[in-house]
Amino acid sequence: MNIHEFQAKKLFRDAGIAVPRGIVVETPEEAASAFKELGGPLAVVKAQIHAGGRGKGTIKSNPSQHGVELVKSAEAAEKAAAAMLGEPLVTIQTGPEGQTVRRVYVEEGCDIARELYLGIVVDRASASPVLMVSTEGGMDIEEVAEKTPELIFKAPFDADRGLMPYQSRVLAQKLGLTGASVRSADKMFRAICKLFVKLDCSLAEVNPLVVTGSGDLMALDGKINFDDNAIFRHPDIAELRDTSEENPNELRAGKAGLSYVQLEGNIGCLVNGAGLAMSTMDLIKLHGGQPSNFLDVGGGAKTEQVTEAFRILLGDPNVKAVLVNIFGGIMQCTTIASAVLEAYKTVGFNVPLVVRLEGTEVEEGRKMLAESDVDIITAEGLTDAAKKVVAAAGAA
Amino acid sequence: MSILINKGTRVICQGITGKAGEFHSKNCIEYGTQLVAGVTPGKGGQTVLDRPVYDTVAESVEKEGADATMIFVPPPFTADAILEAADAGIKVIIAITEGVPVLDMARVYKVLENEYPDAVLVGPNCPGVITPGECKMGIMPGYIHTPGPVGVMSRSGTLTYEAVWQLTNLKLGQSTCVGLGGDPIVGTSFIDLLKMYEADGKTEAIMMMGEIGGTAEEEAAAYVKEHVTKPVAAFIAGRTAPPGKRMGHAGAIISGGKGTAEDKIAALTDAGIEVAESPADMGTALKRAMERK
């Protein structure tokens, strides 16, 4: 689960991590009053959407307007907010349609001496969380990792022990910090590692992490992702979810307990198991088609959930044909067959449907479909299924 | 011979009184698994599928001689269930449960590594382990498997079934099939299994199914290049997956330009592994690998 920058900064502030003062607003007028309330000579107006790359991103209808703007008066704050609010912002992470800006964050300016980077992830290889810092703040960290990996410094830490003070000192030294900045870094590093564990984060990122003129460290940006599997432990965090930032089909699928990712093609896929679902997408592409989605109905799905999956696929106007690829394990082929029949009755099939069944209760499942009056293209094996669905989508 | 489990393995199911636990325990018993007991805290004294239910794993070890467990308890209790099994002396722990918090697994991993180095954890979020014709511990459909020389390992459940079915249809039976699980932190790695398959007298070739995310496949490729003499074939799922999107499995995500299918396929090919182009070609890729050696 993702949250907005202003929400992440509130969590940072509550955890004792220094952040600039800021006010989140929903109208240009409120942006003007926020500027006055902050009382400084300058402020930054920042579009609040879940995607990154906002500073370089542009408003779709007005490409000269970026998603982050430095302003020096209440009028300028109002103008910048007016240019962003209600408009789609296109960044490298949003896709060409952009993401509509519903709120902006007005934040006091700060005196920047240096820009650093800080991130925490769970490292698979060491099976532990790891704190990463870099001297290359404000840059695309993926590019830094690629071109100058020696400028990224890492410290794995135990979830329960947390980051040790000596680890902070070593990292601070590598960043070239001295004197009071070392103490400020130690306080911040340990606080953010503690927050990461306490809230079951999957990612925490501060880019840039700045050293101010007086030598203090401050989080100028804030990004937090949470482990979906651990949200049950954090009802207060679950409330921070902003569903307007999510793809409607993905949201709907999530409510039905399905795993769905929207793609750009025209062949709908309904598969059980993530690995097989990815392979099915690959297979469609290998045979010249384009998948419109990733959809894993999971192992324990009931007829109603699978029927909902059909509703989502068939409701997508881009979908020209649907491939059902099931290798029954926990999932029984009869469950899928029932769902196909149910979807046919309640939704109706407006596009060709190719079905490939294998595994648990396959004979019964195939029989149910064969004996029904539903118009289905049956397939034997993976290649046959892919060829048939690509042909069907092409003919539609 | 086989790896991890065989016809002598004495199996318990933690969470046998739950719906999934009972359903799959029944299937395992029908397959021929020696399922000796179930464990559900607070339900000791009951009987499920004609097997005794105990409150603790330690009791099942003491009274039934259990030495392997499959775990079906809900995600919030899975870390506890794994460590309970390890502490009771269980050596093969297979966690089927999906949805375990990743930091729970980070903690469990460290404890197992430091305090129970002899215990093997497979999973979580995995289909389980099967030694065809001898012992099934998990949720895979038994009938697709047949005893034979191919060791199968995978990060995905249904993709494993697909590969096994192709092998069976090519008259290539399997020694032991292991689903590693789709989470970022899992107990057993490809490399752990490569060591076991290489040492196993019955395994003559190894089939590996990976997917996008992390670097487990690259590490396995490097290991194969240095240490594995048996033929290896592989398939990587997710060539068409967009970066930054989690593809169902918590671990299946391309992030920071790392974990792409292309990188993995290049590393595997470089290690002399036969890589299947299409998921329909996994069985024949293994056959080619065997013929080539």
> Is the peptide bond prior to B124 cis by the omega test (within 30 degrees of 0)?
yes
Question: Which pLDDT does position B153 carry in this prediction?
Answer: 97
Residue ranges of domains in chain A: 21-108, 112-238, 248-395
Question: Considering only CB atoms, which chain A residues are within 8 Å of B139?
Answer: 299, 329-330
- Report how far residue A78's alpha carbon sits from residue A354's, in angstroms, rounded to the nearest whole number: 54
Contact residues, B window 31-70, toward A, CB-based 8 Å cutoff = none
- Does B170 contact chain A (CB < 8 Å)? no
Q: The tokens 């135990």 sit on which residue?
A: A158
Within 8 A of A286 by CB-CB distance, chain B residues are 277-278
Tens digits of per-residue pLDDT, A147-189? 888 999 999 999 999 999 999 999 999 999 999 999 999 999 9
Pairing of strands A128-134, A152-156: antiparallel
Residue A149: its pLDDT value, please? 87
Q: Which fold has domain B11-122?
A: Rossmann fold (3.40.50)
Q: Residue B252: is its pLDDT beyond 80? A: no
CA A316 to chain centre: 21
Q: Residues of A with CB below 8 A from B278's CB?
A: 282-283, 286, 382-383
Residues of chain A numbered 47-106 and touching chain B (CB < 8 Å): 93
Question: For position B114, what pLDDT does the model report?
Answer: 96
Number of A–B residue contacts, CB under 8 Å: 178
Contact with chain B for residue A22, Cβ under 8 A: no
pLDDT, position A183: 96
User: How many angstroms separate the CA atoms of A119 and A93, rounded?
Assistant: 18
What's the confidence (pLDDT) of residue A396?
Answer: 57
- A364 touching B, CB under 8 A? no
Rounded CA-CA distance A18/B57 in Å is 48
Q: Which residue has the higher pLDDT, A290 or B256?
A: A290
Residue from the list B139, B248, B280 with its beta carbon closest to the beta carbon of A329: B139
Q: Is A276 on the interface with B (CB under 8 A)?
A: yes
Q: By the CB < 8 Å criterion, does A332 face chain B?
A: no
What's chain B's length in residues? 293
Which of the listed CATH numbers 3.30.1950.10, 3.40.50.9100, 3.40.50.620, 3.30.1490.20 matches domain A21-108?
A: 3.30.1490.20
- Determine the residue of chain A that is closest to B247 in CA distance: A274
Strand segments (E) across A185-266 = 201-212, 217-219, 223-226, 259-262
The domains spanning B11-122 and B140-292 adopt the same CATH topology: yes
pLDDT of amino acid B154:
95
Catalytic sites of A, residue numbers: 117, 205
Task: For A261, list phi and psi in degrees, rounded to 5.
Answer: -130, 125
Read off the pLDDT of residues B89-133 as tens digits, 9 standing for 90 and up.
999 999 999 999 999 999 999 999 999 999 999 999 999 999 999
Task: Please state, rounded to an integer, the average pLDDT across all residues of chain B.
Answer: 95
Cβ–Cβ gap B185/A383 under 8 Å? no
Closest listed residue to residue B272, CA positions, set B219, B216, B234: B234
Q: Distance (Å, rounded) from C-alpha B163 to C-alpha B155? A: 12
pLDDT tens sequence across A179-208: 999 999 999 999 999 999 999 999 999 999
Q: Best of A199, A278, A325, A387 to disrupt the B interface by mutation (most B CBs within 10 Å)?
A: A278
Pick the CATH number of A112-238 from 3.40.50.1950, 3.30.470.20, 3.40.50.300, 3.50.50.60: 3.30.470.20
- Do the beta carbons of residue A323 and residue A270 sit within 8 Å? yes
ipTM of the modeled complex: 0.90
Contact B253, B247 (CB under 8 A): yes
The CATH H-level superfamily of A248-395 is Succinyl-CoA synthetase domains (3.40.50.261)
Three-class SS state of A99:
strand
CA distance B279 to B270: 20
Q: What is the DSSP letter of B210?
A: E
Q: Residue B256's pLDDT is what?
A: 67
Is a pLDDT exceeding 90 seen at residue A330? no
How close does chain B come to A33, measured CA to CA in Å?
37
Q: According to the model, what pLDDT value does residue A361 have?
A: 85
Whole-angstrom distance, CA of residue A79 vs CA of residue A89: 16
The pLDDT of residue A181 is: 96
Question: Does the domain formed by B140-292 have CATH 3.90.1150.10?
Answer: no
State whether B237 and A329 contact (CB < 8 Å).
Answer: no
Partner-chain contact B256 A142, CB within 8 Å:
yes
Contact A329 B103 (CB under 8 A): no
Query: How do B51-54 and B68-71 pair as beta strands?
Result: unpaired
Give the residue-averaged pLDDT of A303-310: 90
Asked if B72 contacts B24 with a C-beta cutoff of 8 angstroms, the reply is: yes
| Tens of pLDDT, residues B58-74 | 999 999 999 999 999 99
Q: SS in 3 state form for A344-394?
A: HHHCCCCCCEEEEEEECCHHHHHHHHHHCCCCCEECCHHHHHHHHHHHHHH
Which tens digit of pLDDT belongs to each residue from A340-383?
898 888 888 889 999 999 988 889 999 999 998 888 999 988 99
Query: Is A381 in contact with B280 (Cβ distance < 8 A)?
Result: yes
pLDDT tier, A146 (very low <50, low <70, confident <90, very high otherwise): confident
Per-residue pLDDT tens for A237-287?
999 999 988 888 889 998 998 999 999 899 999 999 899 999 999 999 999
| A293 annotated as ligand-binding | no
pLDDT band for position A329 (cuts 50, 70, 90): confident
Say whether pLDDT at A18 is over 70. yes
User: Domain residues of chain B, as ranges?
Assistant: 11-122, 140-292
Specify the 3-state DSSP secondary structure of B75.
helix
Q: Which residues pair with A104 in a beta bridge?
A: A25, A47
Burial class (CB in 10 A: 0-12, 13-18, 19+), B23: middle
- Are B184 and B250 in contact by the 8 Å Cβ rule? The answer is yes
Residue numbering of the annotated binding site of B for CoA: 17-20, 43, 96-98
